[in-house]
Amino acid sequence: MDVRYYPTHRLRDLRELVQRSADEFGDRTAFKELDPAGDLRSYSFSQLRDDVAALGTALLALGVAGRHVALVGESSYSYVLSYLAVVNAGAVIVPLDRELTVDELVLLVRKSDADLVLYGDSLAADVPAIRGDCPRLTGAISMDLYSAGTAERDELGVPDLLRIGRELLAHGDARFASVAIDPDACCAILFTSGTTGANKGVMLTPRNITAVVHGAYSLHRLRSVSLSVLPINHSYEFNLHVLGAIFGGITLCFNDSVKHVRENLGRFRPEMTLMVPMIVEALYKNIWREAEKNHLATHLRYGIWLSNALRRVGVDLRRYYFKPVIDSLGGRLNMIICGGAPLRSEVVKGMSDLGIEVYNGYGITECSPLISSNCVRNNIPGSVGIPIPCVRIRIDSPDADGNGEIQVKGDNVMVGYYKDDDATARSFTPDGWFKTGDLGHLGRRDALFITGRQKNLIILPNGKNVQPEELEEHLLASIDYVQEVVVHASTDEAGVEHIVATAFLDTTFVQVVGSDEAEARFKADVARHNRKLAGYKQIHQAQVRDCEFTKTSTKKIKRNVAQGAMT
């Protein structure tokens, strides 16, 4: 069923997005951020359009059309500007995770065939090493808008290119405005997870990306000021939050670091934000921790009971009763859209009781990423909402309870994996449906319920995905006495998933050093190995077993049997 609660415009591409927002919202503030000195900087929708045109013109003069451009850095106006200038200049953007190590970044820059890299300040020290290992890279451009300029760098930065672009435009250079944009050609390559054979480059088109912006606005009436806290390279944050904010005339405020979320909630006073379960859980836990610390927990519980009783007869005093709680979150926050991983329904209800509505959604990078979302008009507890318009969902081979693989068809579905026809073919059914690998069913009011996943993928509460095979390959290659290892997720009492490595060690090694020492060494080696990994991939628990894993007839470890025995 194609549900649209609010009428909204369907964009052709991201050039129309920038132009339309400048026309409609003009001098309204589009972005706010802090510069390195801590001063507030603001940029309007008109300035975004003008800066995108200037930077795009300069990039075209550098010969960027048709090239692949890697983009890695902190959330900032310059990042948004760079992304839109590259894509609208007819090049392909490759957003990379700034938390990756240099080795991991090198692998992805190479794999994506990037010719140029645009980097944020925090990556500046690593750029020479990345360039040294990526001979195809012909240039590296700093996105830093606030430091002295070229005098401190060997190469051009975004401020220099903006100046050059403005001069070219003033002299009548019309190349950027006349770039032919094919809405069905790949404009972005996003890497899913992994750094070895497991990682795949998802190719998205302007049609894919604009489909989810349209879908989100068909279900949600969004607020006027939002806080961006999630990593900007993620499709969830960029396609939905950043591009969605530009589309809707929302002022998007950049949180300068996850270290400062609370301060920035107070500084920017957002009405809404997009989050992952880990952050929502932390906010909720903190509310109760503060209440306990100040001996107000009983008072708060009574207030919730009274407020809920009044709501049942149509009186909503949550913003009044729980003003101190809401003030601790900036004073205006009333809407959180949550995705990336499952969120406990107790937290959704608990936040709602206090006056902050949390809407769970579901997506996957291959679907740009949005597939379904709860919204104010249709919020089904425990579900991930209804499919967005233009997207069809079917459940493949449902069991007696109606659960089967969730398969998707629609304008949001990627064109394929970059240079990986086999993986692309495996991801689609013969009749063209994308196989998400997630299990679920469609329930009441057409809402989607997720019940599990077919793939081995570990989905952490911060929304990051980890491919266990990648970590297993690393452990087997770097610890010579590990004979077999299975990396899997383990769920703790609070329902939070952690990464666990369980190994069967070489029997001779165990006999020589003794079983206690062998286990201690394995734990120490895993800890050492962790230091070579991005933080979210680090193994939380290392353990050994005294027998081999059960195998299939082709001698592959039966992962489901192994995990079932260990969790």
Partner 1 sequence: MNMLPIITTVVREYADVPESAITQDTDPLRDLDLTSYDLMGIIGRLESELGVSVAERDIRNLVTLGDLDDYIKARVVRS
Residues in contact with partner 1 by CB under 8 A are 98-99, 101, 122-123, 126, 257-263, 278-279, 281-282, 289, 461-462, 492, 494, 496, 527, 530-531, 533-536, 538, 540-541
Smallest distance, partner 1 to C-beta of residue 130, A: 13
Smallest distance, partner 1 to C-beta of residue 530, A: 7
Rg (CA), the chain: 24
Nearest CB to partner 1, comparing residues 100 and 447: 100
CA distance 389 to 371: 9
For residue 72, how many other CB atoms are within 10 A of its CB? 26
Smallest distance, partner 1 to C-beta of residue 126, A: 8
Give Cα 258 distance to the centre of its chain. 14
Nearest CB to partner 1, comparing residues 101 and 224: 101
Exposure of 567 by Cβ count < 10 A (0-12 exposed, 13-18 middle, 19+ buried)? exposed
Crossing angle of the two packed helices 468-478 and 515-530, in degrees rounded to 10: 120
Smallest distance, partner 1 to C-beta of residue 438, A: 23
Half-sphere exposure of 160 (CA within 13 A, CB side): 15
Strand order in the sheet with 386-387: 40-44, 29-34, 251-254, 225-228, 272-275, 335-338, 357-363, 370-373, 386-387
Residue indicated by tokens 């300069």 = 58
Tokens of 412: 């949001």
Smallest distance, partner 1 to C-beta of residue 32, A: 19
3-class state of residue 475 by DSSP: helix
Half-sphere exposure of 127 (CA within 13 A, CB side): 24
Smallest distance, partner 1 to C-beta of residue 18, A: 29
Nearest CB to partner 1, comparing residues 237 and 366: 237
Smallest distance, partner 1 to C-beta of residue 260, A: 5
CA distance 345 to 449: 12
Smallest distance, partner 1 to C-beta of residue 278, A: 5
Contacts of 502 by beta carbon, 8 Å cutoff, 6+ apart? 485, 486, 487, 488, 543, 544, 545, 562, 566
Tokens of 361: 């959604």
Tokens of 339: 């995705």
Tokens of 10: 């369907």
Nearest CB to partner 1, comparing residues 78 and 208: 78
Smallest distance, partner 1 to C-beta of residue 225, A: 22
Nearest CB to partner 1, comparing residues 513 and 534: 534
Nearest CB to partner 1, comparing residues 146 and 509: 146
Q: Which whole-number Å values give the CA distances from 120 to 14, 102, 272, 500, in the listed order?
A: 22, 14, 26, 33
Nearest CB to partner 1, comparing residues 262 and 435: 262
Tokens of 27: 């001098």
Tokens of 291: 């209440």
Nearest CB to partner 1, comparing residues 130 and 204: 130
Which stretches of 354-467 are DSSP H helices?
421-427
Are the beta carbons of 241 and 79 closer than 8 angstroms? no
Contacts of 335 by beta carbon, 8 Å cutoff, 6+ apart? 222, 223, 271, 272, 273, 356, 357, 359
Smallest distance, partner 1 to C-beta of residue 19, A: 35
Smallest distance, partner 1 to C-beta of residue 266, A: 13
Nearest CB to partner 1, comparing residues 224 and 530: 530
Smallest distance, partner 1 to C-beta of residue 458, A: 14
Nearest CB to partner 1, comparing residues 376 and 527: 527
The gap between the terminal CA atoms of the chain, to the nearest Å, is 39
Nearest CB to partner 1, comparing residues 61 and 496: 496
Give Cα 530 distance to the centre of its chain. 22
DSSP 8-state symbol, 385: -
Are the beta carbons of 466 and 490 closer than 8 angstroms? no
CA dihedral 289, 295, 296, 298 (to 10 degrees): 100
Nearest CB to partner 1, comparing residues 280 and 354: 280
Residue indicated by tokens 């993986």 = 423
Nearest CB to partner 1, comparing residues 297 and 534: 534
Smallest distance, partner 1 to C-beta of residue 102, A: 10
